[in-house]
Amino acid sequence: IPLIRILLTHLNFDCLPKSIFKEKGKLVVLFRNPKDTAVSFFHFHNNVPSIPSYSSRGEFFSGFMTDLYFGWGSCFDPALTWNKHTEDKNTMVVIYEDLTGNLTASVKQIAEFFGLSPTAEQLQAIAERDTFQPVSVKAQETHGAVGLILFHKGIFGDRKNVFVQAQNQKLAAKFTVCLQVTKLGVKFKYDMYCKA
């Protein structure tokens, strides 16, 4: 198996080092549906002591929906930037909800993108080891103290337990305006994973 260097980052496309593209690096970009992304940010901001927390879900939601979201722009800005690169030959966009639906098939697609051909047994072993539950159990060991904060539930649809219907509708409207007709918006499978 060839040596592969892996860099994990939260950087947007515009912030990545240009050398990645000159050296023919390959990028796997992971997105999560916007509603559950909002839920993740809510829990993250209220559980990390070194960043501001929010006194209510309403206060958080108002900040999340603005174009100056937490000082680095709208939550939709990175998606709109990456949308321009969804068909770049060195870029593979993966949707979190697709991983949870069929991890083995997703692992196979990612491996093939990198030119690897794992056996069925290897694919199965990776899928069993890297589902949310086993990874979250080892979170503190692999990520230190922040591990317990990073891995909350790993499910989709938790927005129904966090946001009220009016907030869900506002987020749906923002998705429609920003992403619905984009290539990335189609990949989100909004009707399946986000609607309602």
Which residue numbers are catalytic? 10
**Per-residue H/E/C for the chain:** CCCCCCCCCCCCHHHCCCHHHHCCCCEEEEECCHHHHHHHHHHHHHHCCCCCCCCCHHHHHHHHHCCCHHHCCCCCHHHHHHHCCCCCCCEEEEEHHHHHHCHHHHHHHHHHHCCCCCCHHHHHHHHHHCCHHHHHHCHHHHHHHHHHHHCCCCCCCCHHHHCCHHHHHHHHHHHHHHCCCCHHHHHCCHHHHCCC
As a whole number of angstroms, the distance between CA 77 and CA 192 comes to: 23
